Amino acid sequence: MFNRTDRSMISVWWWTIDRSVLITAMVLSVVGILMVMAASPTVALRIGANEWHFVIRHAVFLVLSLGVMMIAAMFNEGMIRVIGIFGLLAMLVMIVLTLTIGSEVKGATRWISIGSFKIQPSEFAKPCFAITCAWLLSLWREERRFPGWIYSIVLLVMMVFLMVMQPDIGMTILFVMTWALLIFLAGMPIGQVIGLAGIAPIFAYLAYVFLPHVTIRVDKFLNGTNDQADIAMESFSHGGFFGVGASEGVVKKYLPDAHADFIYAVAAEEYGAVICLILLICYGFVVLRGFSHAQKSESLFRTLAIAGLTLQFGLQAVIHMASSVQLIPTKGMTLPFISYGGSSLITSGLTIGLLIALTRRRNTHDKRNSMAQPMPVPAPHQTPIPQGGVHG
């Protein structure tokens, strides 16, 4: 695409990024538009809209997502910190607004309506939370007197409280798991990590007891009476290995959110286990590449930020796919780059863009120049002066 001798900013950027992650994101984007074309017309007609309603909107969001991804991929480390910190503060304000003026959909208030569009602030808060916690914890380890781990706990408690108030248990799990990974990688003693892990089941039980939304879903999962999950499971048996063909599936007619929460099931029926395996490979590849870069990074901030963003991207995909095959209760979580949803799609682009920016090879040009230049040699008439001055 660019000549290696070209020293322009775009060319240098191109040859220093992990292009395999960028290409994988592009592949997922193409698959996503095909899946929305297959799953959304039935849903659109059911609500009285044009059959291409969701396809057109998804295409618009996809263009925005790819634009955000390419812009974020060119950020430097300082810009990423600023965006993470101020972005999180802005999203905290917007999440609070969702609880007061937000739109309620299926018993949850997660969206703010702006005209015909709905924004889900918690989606944008995810990468900002990972970046901000990575910065706080890296300062804690590098400057012993800075209580970054305390500030990160305060942020976590705020996010969990706001997510439970919406309620959004799936997003709560993402925030908790992100923080748990980062605090572990930052060097919290293993005894404290085990102690915190032991608290998690207690909070899970309290959520089951006091949140009716969680109680209903868990009971349906344990009793095997979740109609949506049962229908989604049928898609895998109908599709077989190669699927029934594009737009030939029937399961999507009975799933209320076939284009979003259960799009993996639609893919299984129409394109078979082949497309499911391809998606698994794509997500798994991004996760492996991300953790590999995190392990090799010489900066603690980059290590933590890359690991946090990678975990969020992979765990969201796992939650979506696991709920589609009844391994866990349904969570109403989108599949990155595949499901319909503007906030989710743009956030997926932002996450991959930040990963590409953080995993760029550093100082390649400077190292090449320093190796090419000879070391300075003192002039013959110069004689080193001993420490302490001249004695005579």
What does 8-36 look like in DSSP terms, one character per residue?
SHHHHHHHHS-HHHHHHHHHHHHHHHHHH
Whole-number pLDDT of residue 391: 41
Q: Is the pLDDT of residue 387 over 60?
A: no
- 122, HSE (Cβ side, Cα atoms, 13 Å): 30
Would residue 178 count as lying in a domain? yes
Would residue 372 count as lying in a domain? no
Rounded average pLDDT over 23-30: 95
Q: Is the pLDDT of residue 53 over 50?
A: yes
Whole-number pLDDT of residue 3: 65
Would residue 339 count as lying in a domain? yes
Cis peptide before 336 (omega within 30 of 0): no
Whole-number pLDDT of residue 4: 66
DSSP assignment letter at 298: S
Give the chain's domain count: 1
Would residue 280 count as lying in a domain? yes
Closest CA to 36 of 299, 211, 307, 266: 266
Whole-number pLDDT of residue 128: 96
- Cα distances (Å, whole numbers) of residue 377 to 228, 374, 382, 387: 76, 9, 10, 20
Would residue 87 count as lying in a domain? yes
Mean pLDDT of the residues in the chain: 84
Whole-number pLDDT of residue 390: 40
Q: Which amino acid is at 199?
A: I
**H/E element, 83:** helix 77-101
28 contacts 336 by C-beta, under 8 angstroms: yes
343 contacts 119 by C-beta, under 8 angstroms: yes
Question: pTM value?
Answer: 0.86
Would residue 117 count as lying in a domain? yes
Using CA atoms, how far apart are residues 75 and 111, in angstroms rounded to an integer? 28
Would residue 388 count as lying in a domain? no
Burial 188-223 (b: 16+ CB within 10 A, else e): beeeeeeebeeeeeeeeeebeeeeebbeebbebbee
State residue 117 phi and psi, 5-degree precision: -110, 150
Rounded average pLDDT over 324-330: 82
Rounded average pLDDT over 232-259: 81
303 contacts 185 by C-beta, under 8 angstroms: yes
Rounded average pLDDT over 327-336: 84
Q: Is the pLDDT of residue 109 over 70?
A: yes
Using CA atoms, how far apart are residues 84 and 66, in angstroms rounded to an integer? 19
Closest CA to 36 of 215, 263, 246: 263
Per-residue pLDDT band for 189 (boundaries 50, 70, 90) equals: confident
Would residue 75 count as lying in a domain? yes
Using CA atoms, how far apart are residues 26 and 328, in angstroms rounded to an integer? 29
Closest CA to 232 of 276, 269, 270: 269
Expressed as residue numbers, the domain containing 187 is 15-362
Per-residue pLDDT band for 33 (boundaries 50, 70, 90) equals: very high
Q: Is the pLDDT of residue 70 over 90?
A: yes
pLDDT, one tens digit per residue, over 278-292 is 999 999 999 999 999
Per-residue pLDDT band for 382 (boundaries 50, 70, 90) equals: very low
279 contacts 314 by C-beta, under 8 angstroms: no
Sequential DSSP letters for 143-211:
STT--HHHHHHHHHHHHHHHHHHTT-HHHHHHHHHHHHHHHHHTT--HHHHHHHHHHHHHHHHHHHHH-
